[in-house]
Amino acid sequence: MKLMADNYEDDHLKASKSDQTNHKPSPDQIIPPLIDLNQNRSKLKLYISHLTTLCHERDPHILQDLAPPSAYQRSQQDAWEEELQKMSHEQLESELEQCERESAELQEYANSVLQQIADHCPDILEQVVNALEESC
């Protein structure tokens, strides 16, 4: 029985690996997640900007040891979505990887900023929460 189970697992793993390598998403399947990631990145940048502004108004030294990632300074071109339509599958995959990496860097930076705020002036967090509640 164990031999049969091992053989089944081996066959099942081989089949699932070959399914994964044979199925590449089409450009139409890659572009919407890219656009969503870009929108989320933009929202995260706005959030970070709001947090850093609040910090600088209170005490410019709170964030002096934190350096924003390069993605924070970079802005997407207006024609970026149009350019996506012209990209090859490999270029789209590369763009998706870059967007995911930059989003993770921005999220990590936002978390660091929030931690600094929590450590030095937690009342700012209350302002942020109140502003978020009002916008919802």
pTM of the model: 0.73
> Of 128, 66, 71, 79, which Cα lies nearest the Cα of 105?
71
- CA 92, 96, 101, 104: dihedral to nearest 10 degrees? 160
Contact yes or no for 125/114 (Cβ under 8 A): yes
20 pLDDT higher than 60: no
- What is the reported pLDDT for 18? 46
- What is the reported pLDDT for 109? 95
What token pair was written down for 59?
């005490």
47-87 per-position pLDDT tens digit: 999 889 988 888 889 899 999 998 888 877 778 888 999 99
CB neighbours of residue 71 within 10 Å: 19
- What is the reported pLDDT for 4? 47
